[in-house]
Amino acid sequence: MNIMDFNVKKLAADAGTFLSRAVQFTEEKLGQAEKTELDAHLENLLSKAECTKIWTEKIMKQTEVLLQPNPNARIEEFVYEKLDRKAPSRINNPELLGQYMIDAGTEFGPGTAYGNALIKCGETQKRIGTADRELIQTSALNFLTPLRNFIEGDYKTISKERKLLQNKRLDLDAAKTRLKKAKAAETRASSEQELRITQSEFDRQAEITRLLLEGISSTHAHHLRCLNDFVEAQMTYYAQCYQYMLDLQKQLGSFPSNYHCNNNQTSVAPMPSASSNVIGSSALTSTSGLVIVSPSNLVDLKECSGSRKARVLYDYDAANSSELSLLADEVITVFSVVGMDSDWLMGERGNQKGRVPITYLELLN
């Protein structure tokens, strides 16, 4: 027998097996043939595996959406992953917002209250962007990758063996049908031999499938550990963001509240302490419990010819020779000069004198 004859006979046998399975499957659907039922334990294992696969896919996809809301970016990352290439690094939304804030604050002037606040907010947003990037990397490695490995690895193997089990069952039931229809003794003997072989093959495949399916419990235990890693990564991320915003709030909260609304020329600010008050604010309490600020202190200081002591809130580098550099927490003497911009006072430290931004100062009694 040459190779061509062998291939022809093999194709014919495969075609016959396929036809036999198709006939058996169709008759089962029409209720014209009996079907061998799997034992209850194996059916439960199959159901558990299918349920695990469905929910793992849903959790994995939604986690990807949570970590990367941009669908175009997810598609790009998927393509690079399939090409086994590293996706180019892109700036994320918090980092982009932070950069815009810093650029705006720089243009408005770091010496102005708004410009300085924008710069501080921008720096915080960029730190949040870095934390966001770390969360994505950690979650992808410790959570998404194991889930994806199960879907693309373990479950594919289970599906393959499950399909083989289905084919072996169809072969077994087709052999049973042929044995029932056999009339002659020789035909019955051949059918009985075929039944014993198909039964043995079915039992062996059922055992292989069962062993694979029992590994689902180990998969759940592994995914539980991965879930703990994901929760820990989220906890770290949110703790970092909270700390960043808490620090930012403290910095912004210590800014003098001399900003006014367009309509009533007042703004809400914290109640100043009895021992000190921020330049440019005088507190009045409204009926709603909010603190209303008026610029009477600043007016008094500018109208009087005397000087006051002020504590420096933040470091400030002089932009030119007309300004005075400041160090946080130092106490300097300040006084107004006729014709000077309302956002500035004249500061004096020993023999040094120059303009200082009022937003960097806290007036002392």
CA atoms within 13 A on the CB side of 324: 25
Write out pLDDT tens, residues 292-302.
333 445 555 55
For residues 233 and 147, give the distance between their C-alpha atoms in angstroms, rounded to a whole number.
16
* Residue 69 banded pLDDT, cuts 50, 70, 90: confident
**DSSP per-residue codes, 73-127:** HHHHHHHHHHTT-PPPP---HHHHHHHHHHHHHHHH-TTSHHHHHHHHHHHHHHH
Instruction: State residue 44's pLDDT score.
Output: 95
For residues 267 and 258, give the distance between their C-alpha atoms in angstroms, rounded to a whole number.
8
List of residues 6+ apart from 72 with CB closer than 8 A: none
Q: What percent of the chain has pLDDT over 70?
A: 79
SS3 232: helix
Instruction: State residue 177's pLDDT score.
Output: 85
* Residue 200 banded pLDDT, cuts 50, 70, 90: very high
Query: Residue 347's beta-bridge partner residues?
Result: 334, 354
Place of tokens 């809130």: 313
Instruction: State residue 34's pLDDT score.
Output: 77
For residues 49 and 217, give the distance between their C-alpha atoms in angstroms, rounded to a whole number.
9
Residues 210-227 have a mean pLDDT of 96
First-last CA distance in the chain: 112
Number of neighbouring beta carbons within 10 Å of residue 130: 16
Instruction: State residue 259's pLDDT score.
Output: 42
Q: Which range has the worst mean pLDDT, 132-141, 148-157, 299-308?
A: 299-308
Write out pLDDT tens, residues 25-64.
787 777 767 788 899 999 999 999 999 999 999 999 999 9
* Residue 267 banded pLDDT, cuts 50, 70, 90: very low
Say which residue, 260 or 171, is predicted with more confidence: 171
Q: Which range has the worst mean pLDDT, 11-20, 195-204, 219-228, 352-361?
A: 11-20
Q: Which range has the worst mean pLDDT, 161-175, 178-192, 233-247?
A: 178-192
Instruction: State residue 78's pLDDT score.
Output: 67
Residues 219-243 have a mean pLDDT of 96
CB 114 within 8 A of CB 103: no
Q: Indicate the pTM of the whole model.
A: 0.62
pLDDT of residue 83 exceeding 80, the answer is: no
Q: Which helix (H) or strand (E) holds 340?
A: none
For residues 298 and 336, give the distance between their C-alpha atoms in angstroms, rounded to a whole number.
9
Q: Please provide the average confidence, as pLDDT, over all residues in the chain.
A: 82
Instruction: State residue 112's pLDDT score.
Output: 87
Instruction: State residue 43's pLDDT score.
Output: 94
Among candidate residues 62, 60, 86, the one with its CA nearest the CA of residue 226: 60
Structure tokens given for 41: 């334990």
CA atoms within 13 A on the CB side of 236: 15
CB 330 within 8 A of CB 310: no
* Residue 185 banded pLDDT, cuts 50, 70, 90: confident
Task: Assign residue 329 a region (left: φ > 0; alpha: ψ between -120 and 50; beta: otherwise).
Answer: left
